[in-house]
Amino acid sequence: MFHLFTHNDLDGVGCGILAKIAFKDQVRVRYNSVSGLDFQIERFLERAKNDDFIIVTDLSVNELNTERINEYYKKTGKAKLIDHHKTALHFNDYEWGSVKVEYEDGRLTAATSLFYEYLVANGQLEPCKALEEFVELVRLYDTWEWEKNNNETAKRLNDLFFMISIEDFEERMAERLQQSDSFSFDEFETKILDMEENKIERYVRRKRREMVQTFIDSKCVGIVHAESYHSELGNELGKENPHIDYIAIMNVGGKKISLRTIHDHIDVSEVAGQFGGGGHAKASGCPLTDNAYQLFVVETFRIEPMKPDAFRNQYNLKGSERGCFYENHFEDQFFVYQVAENKWCIDRNDKMIEQTFTTFDEAEYFLKRNHSAWLARDEHYVDYLSQTLIQSIKKEQVNDQYGTATENDTSFVSYEPAIHPSEQGDRPFSH
Ligand SMILES: [Mn+2]
């Protein structure tokens, strides 16, 4: 008898489906959460008979169970662990461990694709096109490559997985993969998937208004509380806020945090690791420990959510050479403008910030990261401009009264302009 212990996500269940197609009624599949696995393995090994073949996919076991499996393998030769997480690479030290993160051509692996190749290589599974398509969809989804390749089918396969029970999903897929020449959704599945897509869109729209921004361990984090649709949320919020290093999705009830990033230079599995979790560079998770609760929940509770950039503006437009206007919850006013080619400046509350930027995007990145600012609506922009205009008229009147200062004009020395120096000179719109 084969005994498969695998993850309870799409990639893990993909392995379960392959095992059932390969071994039919000669396999028992158990789906586990990351934290639930070790207990199951321990209990199983206590009772295992020597003809039981234990396979673990898409999950890691702890040190004690590693020893137990190793002992069992020495005795029976019947154990295998197949995984694709880089946190599991140490299992390659064992004859029964097979961990591979990347294919030779640079594509990332998934447990389902590795397990498929293993079964085919052992002659336990007959390769076919429908199976290959299914395995590739699971791999694309699990590695996030679906995003880059814009593969909606992979995303929809995962959506379907979450909409129906694991048993129902297993049964539907196993049947289809053995009977059809290629993989596709049936009419019923297509219909419920379309409905689900609309629902997710509405959910994400609501949640983006709840995100707060802060720095944790010198990383800029967007924090949002949500129980569902973590991938969609993490992805949308990440793309919408490229100045944020990673998105933390809090599930206080479930005592869990999901971490997502769209950036190649950030590895959220490292962040998760600090709190006893793990996962991939772009998507990982960890338990909501006391320490994490303090950092992510308590200390951020009073922060006002970020406002999305105004999107219906006609005048206050990003990157406009005449300048554009940002604001934040601290009632700071920011004016971003170009002074020369490759030189952008920011005025904060009418004082020029010392740092300059070569592009608008760079300036905006600085603003959003350090001042949690958003593009203001046209009305606020117009208010700001008219105030600045009044100030500059006042300044001209003062100048007329005192005459134009020259280097030798000592009467001018005591004069302090009512307006900060940055207000004068080459500010584009004040001419
Ligand atoms: Mn996986």
**What 3 state SS string does 52-70 have?**
CEEEEECCCCCHHHHHHHH
State the pLDDT at residue 404: 53
Q: 153 C-alpha to center of ligand 1: Å?
A: 18
Q: 206 C-alpha to center of ligand 1: Å?
A: 29
State the pLDDT at residue 231: 85
Question: What type of residue sits at position 226?
Answer: A
Q: 7 C-alpha to center of ligand 1: Å?
A: 8
Which strands form 256-260's sheet, in the order they lie side by side? 212-216, 219-225, 246-251, 256-260, 283-287, 278-279
If asked whether residues 33 and 160 sit together in one domain, one would say yes
Last residue of a domain, one of 268, 298, 328: 298
Q: Which of 130, 244, 248 is nearest to 180 (CA)?
A: 130
If asked whether residues 99 and 21 sit together in one domain, one would say yes
The pLDDT tens digits for 185-240 are 999 999 999 999 999 999 999 999 999 999 999 999 999 999 988 988 999 999 99
Q: 177 C-alpha to center of ligand 1: Å?
A: 20
If asked whether residues 101 and 225 sit together in one domain, one would say no
Residue 280 lies in a domain: yes
Which residues touch 61 (CB under 8 Å, ≥6 apart)?
37, 38, 41, 69, 81
Q: 47 C-alpha to center of ligand 1: Å?
A: 28
If asked whether residues 342 and 269 sit together in one domain, one would say no
If asked whether residues 134 and 216 sit together in one domain, one would say no
If asked whether residues 57 and 25 sit together in one domain, one would say yes
Which residues touch 427 (CB under 8 Å, ≥6 apart)?
323, 337, 347
Q: 317 C-alpha to center of ligand 1: Å?
A: 42
State the pLDDT at residue 409: 43
33 φ/ψ angles, rounded to the nearest 5 degrees: -80, 165
State the pLDDT at residue 402: 63
Q: 296 C-alpha to center of ligand 1: Å?
A: 26
Q: 55 C-alpha to center of ligand 1: Å?
A: 15
Residue 304 lies in a domain: no
Which residues touch 318 (CB under 8 Å, ≥6 apart)?
309, 324, 360, 364, 375
Q: 146 C-alpha to center of ligand 1: Å?
A: 14
Residue 429 lies in a domain: yes
Q: 314 C-alpha to center of ligand 1: Å?
A: 46
If asked whether residues 76 and 155 sit together in one domain, one would say yes
CATH number of the domain that residue 223 is part of: 3.10.310.30
Q: What share of the chain is helix, strand, coil (3-state, %, to 5)?
A: 45, 20, 35
Q: State which residues form the domain around 84.
A: 2-185
Q: 113 C-alpha to center of ligand 1: Å?
A: 10
Residue 219 lies in a domain: yes
Q: 110 C-alpha to center of ligand 1: Å?
A: 5
Q: 164 C-alpha to center of ligand 1: Å?
A: 20
Task: Give the C-alpha separation, 1 to 13, whole Å.
Answer: 19
Residue 40 lies in a domain: yes
Dihedral sign, Cα of residue 226, residue 283, residue 89, residue 1 = positive
Q: 142 C-alpha to center of ligand 1: Å?
A: 6
Q: 9 C-alpha to center of ligand 1: Å?
A: 8
CB-facing half-sphere around the CA of 47: CA atoms within 13 A: 5
State the pLDDT at residue 408: 45
Last residue of a domain, one of 256, 272, 298: 298
If asked whether residues 56 and 153 sit together in one domain, one would say yes
If asked whether residues 238 and 347 sit together in one domain, one would say no
Q: 158 C-alpha to center of ligand 1: Å?
A: 12
Residue 273 lies in a domain: yes
Residue 199 lies in a domain: no
**What is 147-180 written as a DSSP string?**
HHTT-HHHHHHHHHHHHS-HHHHHHHHHHHHHH-
Q: 11 C-alpha to center of ligand 1: Å?
A: 5
Segment holding 28, helix H or strand E: strand 27-32
Question: What type of residue sits at position 360?
Answer: F
Which residues touch 142 (CB under 8 Å, ≥6 apart)?
9, 10, 11, 110, 111, 112
Q: 299 C-alpha to center of ligand 1: Å?
A: 33
Q: 39 C-alpha to center of ligand 1: Å?
A: 20
Q: Which of 177, 84, 168 is nearest to 132 (CA)?
A: 177
Q: Which of 266, 230, 232 is nearest to 248 (CA)?
A: 230
CA max distance for the chain: 103
Task: Give the C-alpha separation, 371 to 220, whole Å.
Answer: 11
If asked whether residues 293 and 316 sit together in one domain, one would say no
Beta strands of 153-311 (E only): which ranges? 212-216, 219-225, 246-251, 256-260, 278-279, 283-287
Chain centroid to CA 58: how far?
Answer: 20
What secondary structure letter does DSSP report for 295?
A: I
Q: 430 C-alpha to center of ligand 1: Å?
A: 57
If asked whether residues 344 and 415 sit together in one domain, one would say yes
Please tell me the total count of domains within the chain.
3
Task: Give the C-alpha separation, 19 to 27, whole Å.
Answer: 7
Q: 58 C-alpha to center of ligand 1: Å?
A: 5
State the pLDDT at residue 403: 57
Task: Give the C-alpha separation, 240 to 144, whole Å.
Answer: 18
Q: Which residue has the tokens 């105004």?
A: 310
Q: 354 C-alpha to center of ligand 1: Å?
A: 47
Q: 280 C-alpha to center of ligand 1: Å?
A: 9
Q: 338 C-alpha to center of ligand 1: Å?
A: 47
Q: Which residues of the chain have pLDDT under 70?
A: 401-431
Tokens of 191: 């219909």
Q: 217 C-alpha to center of ligand 1: Å?
A: 28
Last residue of a domain, one of 298, 333, 367: 298
The pLDDT tens digits for 330-359 are 999 999 999 999 999 999 999 999 999 999
Q: 181 C-alpha to center of ligand 1: Å?
A: 26
Residues having C-beta closer than 5 Å to ion ligand 1: 11, 58, 111, 142
Residue 281 lies in a domain: yes
If asked whether residues 150 and 28 sit together in one domain, one would say yes
Q: 84 C-alpha to center of ligand 1: Å?
A: 7
Instruction: Count CB atoms within 10 A of the CB of residue 191.
Output: 11
CATH number of the domain that residue 42 is part of: 3.40.50
Task: Give the C-alpha separation, 199 to 201, whole Å.
Answer: 5
Q: 86 C-alpha to center of ligand 1: Å?
A: 11
Question: What type of residue sits at position 259?
Answer: L
Task: Give the C-alpha separation, 226 to 247, whole Å.
Answer: 12
Q: Which residue has the tokens 């990003």?
A: 318
State the pLDDT at residue 410: 42
Q: Is 280 exposed, middle or buried, given 0-12, 13-18 or 19+ CB atoms closer than 10 A?
A: buried
